[in-house]
Amino acid sequence: MMLFPKTAARRYALAAIAVLALRLLSLPLYPLTDTTEARYALVARLMADSGDWITPWFASGVPFWGKPPLLFWATGGLMQLFGFGEFTARAGTWIPSALLALLTVVWARRRYGASIANLASLMLVSGVLFFVTSGSVLTDNWLALGLGLIVVGSFECHRSSVIALLTITLGVAIGMLAKGPLVVVLGGPPALLSAWLLGSKRFRAIGLLCLACLLGGLLTVPWYLAAELKTPGFIDYFIVGEHWRRYLEPGWAGDRYGSAHLQPLGKIWLLAIPAFLPWLPLAPLAWRGRREDLEGWLLLAWALWPALFFTAAHNILSTYLLPSAMPLAVWLSRGLCARPQQNSGMLLLMSSVAPLLLFAAMLVHAFGGFALRSERDLIAQCDRYPGPQRPVFFTDDPPFSARLYGGDRVHPLSGVVAPPEAACWARRKRDVDAIAGWHPVFEDKRYRLWIRRERE
């Protein structure tokens, strides 16, 4: 196999570090947005403020049963240590993303060499989906880290039983605490296939894989039991509702905290096209001449399985493809490194696409080119007026970002015609009719802020 020159491999490593560092620096530069980011950041902030590390809470007296606590532990812990802010909220997702990139480098270097490892890590961190989500408040990046560990363990079953046992156990535990039993569904079939085909002691490898899955699951049982005992009904909602019904029922109406993301069957494959840019167009080059490569086929199986699984689901998001990013990057890198001539400068240029797009979007936003779905600035506007801190009333249910930035002073306007005099009033922009005694002072993407004329 002909590999890239060492100088090119070093450039790939430096570029991967630079991309990760740029994403880290971007975390505090724009507000937390609705719906997912603000919702998860709010749950983490409530966990940090309450000191309740067993049950995530959605609101006072309302437990959040939609996800296990790993993201909220990480994000809430950072908030307790360093205070609330966009940086601490998003760093809880950047950390597992950086750990997955590190895992990719360490494992691929050990198995395939430095050139493949460095290029794979660069492809991973600079892919559009991975780059964007690594700086968003999401649970999927923790799941991707857990499944990345299972990839490593399944490939190492015949080489090192200790590494395989530890990595798969840890991967299953992380996945169970990040997204639940989905980690077994997405990791089980390709892991069994890898363990069966990559060596001669197949039954021993399968037994080790099953043992590691059992141990990983057992590590998480205490939290699941504690959560069910503290708020009965959690296991039924999370296991049956969030997994079984969300997958099988189009437009599932049982979601307590949001809405189902109804999509046509097979839409996941269309979502994959932008998700894995700019690298996906290189797949034909990576494929050429690699048809007899067993490990390549297995990496491809790992990359394709999430899309295959969600082909039959209506309720999907592009983030469901994140577990494909790591094996796809390694597969592409192995295929490209096997080619006798490659333009390393072009590959480095391609790796800058996602960072440049993000920072261009941030620049356009900063100069008023478009507004984000966030009420941070609206809440801040209420603090610019003299006197005691004003409560903020919304004519409908306050968005998550309003609750996140406004805390206890944000209220829905229900049962009354107008808020108290010394208050701010957030009305939908479509409600254009004037209200006697009130006038607008600020507007964002969705709301117009009103105050009493006497308080000017």
Domain end residue (candidates: 365, 385, 414) = 365
88 and 138, same structural domain?
yes
Residue 38 lies in a domain: yes
Residue 456: pLDDT above 50? no
Domain end residue (candidates: 365, 387, 409) = 365
Quick: pLDDT tens for 357-404.
Answer: 988 988 888 777 778 899 999 999 988 887 778 899 998 889 999 999
Residue 371 lies in a domain: no
How far, in Å, CA of 450 to CA of 97, rounded? 41
Residue 438 lies in a domain: yes
356 and 398, same structural domain?
no
Grade residue 273 by pLDDT with cuts at 50, 70 and 90.
very high
443 and 316, same structural domain?
no
Residue 418 lies in a domain: yes
In which order are the strands placed within the sheet that holds 410-412? 410-412, 392-394, 424-428, 447-452, 438-443
145 and 275, same structural domain?
yes
pTM of the predicted structure, to 2 decimals: 0.92
Q: Which of 20-24, 53-57, 292-296, 445-449 has the lowest mean pLDDT?
A: 292-296
pLDDT for the residue numbered 253:
54
pLDDT for the residue numbered 324:
97
Quick: pLDDT tens for 248-269.
Answer: 666 555 566 665 566 788 899 9
395 and 266, same structural domain?
no
Quick: pLDDT tens for 36-94.
Answer: 999 999 999 999 999 999 999 988 888 999 899 999 999 999 999 999 999 999 999 99
351 and 322, same structural domain?
yes
Residue 1 lies in a domain: no
289 and 244, same structural domain?
yes
pLDDT for the residue numbered 263:
76
Residue 424 lies in a domain: yes
How far, in Å, CA of 91 to CA of 451, rounded? 36
Q: Which domain holds residue 44?
A: 6-365
Mean pLDDT of 7-31: 93
Tokens, residue 281: 């167009």
pLDDT for the residue numbered 2:
42
Domain end residue (candidates: 340, 365, 390) = 365
Pairing status of strand 392-394 against strand 410-412: parallel
187 and 150, same structural domain?
yes
Is the distance from CB of 395 to CB of 413 less than 8 angstroms?
yes
358 and 395, same structural domain?
no
Long-range CB contacts (within 8 A, 24+) of 163-170: 164/205, 164/208, 164/209, 164/212, 165/208, 165/211, 165/212, 165/215, 167/212, 168/208, 168/209, 168/212, 168/213, 168/216, 169/212, 169/213, 169/215, 169/216, 169/219, 170/146, 170/216
pLDDT for the residue numbered 371:
83
Residue 274 lies in a domain: yes
pLDDT for the residue numbered 415:
66
Backbone angles phi, psi at 90, to 5 degrees: -85, -25
Structural domain count, the chain: 2
390 and 310, same structural domain?
no
196 and 104, same structural domain?
yes
202 and 167, same structural domain?
yes
Residue 370 lies in a domain: no
